[in-house]
Amino acid sequence: MGFCGLCRWGAVWLFAGAGLLAQQAPIPRADELPGQPYAIRNKWVIGGTGDWDYLTLDPTASRLFVAHGPTVQVVDIESGAVVGTIGGFHQAHAVVLDDQGTYGYATDGLPNPLSGRVLSSQGKPVEFTYAGGVEVFDRRSFRIVASILTTASLRALALDPQTGLLFALGTDLSTLPPPPEPARRRRANARPQPSPPSQPSLCGTSSAYESGRIPESIIVVIDPEKRAELADIRVCGMLGSAVPDGTGGVYVTFTTLNMAVRLDAQRLLDLLPDRDRIVPSTIEFGGREYTYNQVPELDWRSQTKRGAGYGDALPQLRTIPLGDCKEPHGVAVDSRRNRLFVGCNNMKLAILDSVSGASIGSFTVGPGTDSIAYDAGRGLIFSANGGGYGSVTIIRQHVTDDYSVVQTLPTMERARTMAVDPATGLVYLVTTINGANISNPSRAGIPGKVRYGPLDGSFQVLVIGN
């Protein structure tokens, strides 16, 4: 057999082996079977490059916004075609939309902070350091109309309809352990040098991190009308996702502390500067204009330490421990019944009373859950599980406030984020096709490198319905 034949069979075995490994995670069983089971009804290949994150649906305009690499792709859910692309990101993460159908807001995150010194629009020198920001875009032209810089590297985003405040979740990169240094050849008699002692932190220490420190995060509060940052809220741990409850509260998951919190946006206004007096600076660098202003920092680290119990730690903050829910990520809320749905990294979906913090139930879901969605009109909770084979776990909320798993639908590997259309009940996920790529062809009989990973141009939307 020639080398080309060996390449083909090597690629096949790579594909098969990876498929077998992906199936090692058990498929959770359903407690009852739906009369009309969900299935993958369509697949739209939309292309693009880079990693992806959250999806947001505009059911009125029939548009799906997908944070994908350096862009936000806009997909027409009637045709499956890409009708717009919003560029200018380092790494797009999450999108929220205003109620007027005019503007959208998308978070941007950098792997490393950048610093500079420029003149502001008032002619004053401004020294700035940023690691992310929020891009404001026009939903008709898909053009960015404002860029708000933040010191934190942002990911999740929530808009509270009661106060009109934006809450962006970000990481303080300076509190993360440094990346490992490249391996160097060491002399035989050389002794390893001890690591420098870590700086003390109000968040405490943990052996889970090389530096010994628990990382810190920042909840950035933004006034979308002023297009300006109002305050930074410093908390302990790494943050997961955020969702408004529609009654003036925003729920946030803390992935490294196994808890959630409820921010009272209305009471938070008492701690924020007068929005009418905010005059943000406009700075220009790299051929673009940005909004940047110094804001007060609210230090809530003492209230968000590991082991915080249930209760109102502050008038603006309620902490909710999540029991055996490990590394919580996705979160959804049923404000009518006061129910909180949290996706956990240990293959569980936890249901809690959002008022008392009491556990209502816990259900097994697939591995790698990242996004949780709640369809209030149909009484369904969805968990997008991107680990292993990829699946969506569907849980029924009965009128008696009981819950049961009704279906586990196999999807595709890494299909971990989703959006639900409340009008049609359709569920949208995104992922790529993984396969074997020969990055370098064979030369002079020497085989090229074979790598297993996402295939170029295979990024696609999965449409699920019943």
- CA pair distance 74, 310, nearest whole angstrom: 40
66-70, 276-280, 310-314, range with the lowest pLDDT? 276-280
pLDDT at 13: 40
Q: Tell me the pLDDT band of 328, cut-offs 50, 70 and 90.
A: very high
* DSSP track, 287-341: TEEEEE----EEE-TGGG-TT--SEEEETTEEEEE-TT--S---EEEETTTTEEE
* Buried-exposed string 442-457: b where 16+ CB fall within 10 A, e elsewhere: eeeeeeeeeeeebeee
C-alpha count within 13 angstroms, C-beta hemisphere, residue 350: 27
Contact in structure between 146 and 86 (CB atoms under 8 Å) = no
pLDDT at 455: 84
Residues 462, 54, 382: CA angle, nearest 5 degrees: 60
Report the pLDDT averaged over residues 255-270. Answer: 96
101-115, 186-200, 327-341, 382-396, range with the lowest pLDDT? 186-200
Predicted confidence (pLDDT) at residue 19 exceeds the cutoff of 80 = no
Predicted confidence (pLDDT) at residue 310 exceeds the cutoff of 50 = yes
Predicted confidence (pLDDT) at residue 397 exceeds the cutoff of 80 = yes
Report the pLDDT averaged over residues 84-94. Answer: 97
Predicted confidence (pLDDT) at residue 66 exceeds the cutoff of 50 = yes
Q: Tell me the pLDDT band of 32, cut-offs 50, 70 and 90.
A: low
Q: Tell me the pLDDT band of 4, cut-offs 50, 70 and 90.
A: very low
* DSSP track, 148-213: EEESSEEEEEEE-TTT--EEEEEE-GGGSPPPPPPP----TTPPPPPPPPPPP-TT-B-TTSTTSB
Mean pLDDT, the chain, as a whole number? 87
Euclidean distance between the first and final Cα of the chain, in Å?
A: 48
**Nearest to 71, CA basis, from 100, 42, 91, 101:** 91
Q: Residue 423's Cα: distance from chain center in Å?
A: 24
pLDDT at 30: 61
Report the pLDDT averaged over residues 102-127. Answer: 85
